[in-house]
Amino acid sequence: MRAELEAGLRSGLNDLGLALTDGQTAQLLDYLELIRKWNKVYNLTAVREPAEMLTHHLLDSLAVIAPLRRQTQSRPIRLLDVGSGAGLPGVVIAICCPEVRVDCVDTVAKKAAFVQQAAATLALPNLRGVHDRVENLSAPYDVVSSRAFASLADFVVWSSAALAEQGVWLAMKGKHPADEIAALPPNVELFHVEQLEVPGLDAERCIVWMKRAAG
């Protein structure tokens, strides 16, 4: 099974134009296996079939790597992944971008504990699981990300204190969320909606990029 998953992963990485080391590829597969093991006891994710986990979790999260690198120009930054659950996309970002310090926050203790376990098992010193509400966090993060977490308005309001003054919000969504964009508070500026193509996934995906409005 691992050989099939690796072939699918490498094919997806090729489609996404991502060059990862063999070590990073192995870490991604080990991460998938870790989710599968913990899922038996803790119900981290509703998706349980390994092949489906590859497309819906790994490749879906990997689709954000190139846009994130373009946005940050691959410089060392701090990133907060909100409502991270099993660490998607936070753990994937930590594996692919060792220069990024990733904190994954979740209100569910077992999910934050899983991310801590992933950091230890996968030897990722740049990854941390945080059990808290995002509203309680105030450390300045250069990027605050989420994946199917909440409405855009709730996401930016709840995480506003955690975003650095010149930071950006990165919200992964399905189809273009026009209604949610219309409901954004006036102190938030949308500056880009980026369409994503996820290999093997026949569904719409996009990133909504936002920042604080000038003045």
Residues of the chain with pLDDT under 50: none
pLDDT of the residue at 42? 82
CATH of the domain spanning 2-212, picked from 3.40.718.10, 3.30.360.10, 3.40.605.10, 3.40.50.150:
3.40.50.150
DSSP 171-213: EEESS--HHHHHTS-TTEEEEEEEEE--TT--S-EEEEEEEEP
pLDDT in tens, 18-73: 999 999 999 999 999 999 999 888 878 877 788 889 999 999 999 999 999 999 99
Beta strands in the chain, from DSSP E residues, in sequence order: 77-82, 100-106, 127-131, 141-147, 163-173, 188-196, 205-212
pLDDT of the residue at 50? 82
pLDDT of the residue at 93? 98
pLDDT of the residue at 47? 77
pLDDT of the residue at 1? 83
Are 83 and 106 within 8 A, CB to CB?
yes
CA distance 171 to 79: 13
pLDDT of the residue at 137? 97
pLDDT of the residue at 215? 72
pLDDT of the residue at 40? 83
pLDDT of the residue at 163? 98
- Joined together, the tokens standing for residue 142 give 């250069």
Main-chain dihedrals φ then ψ at residue 211, nearest 5 degrees: -150, 175
pLDDT of the residue at 61? 97
pLDDT of the residue at 43? 77
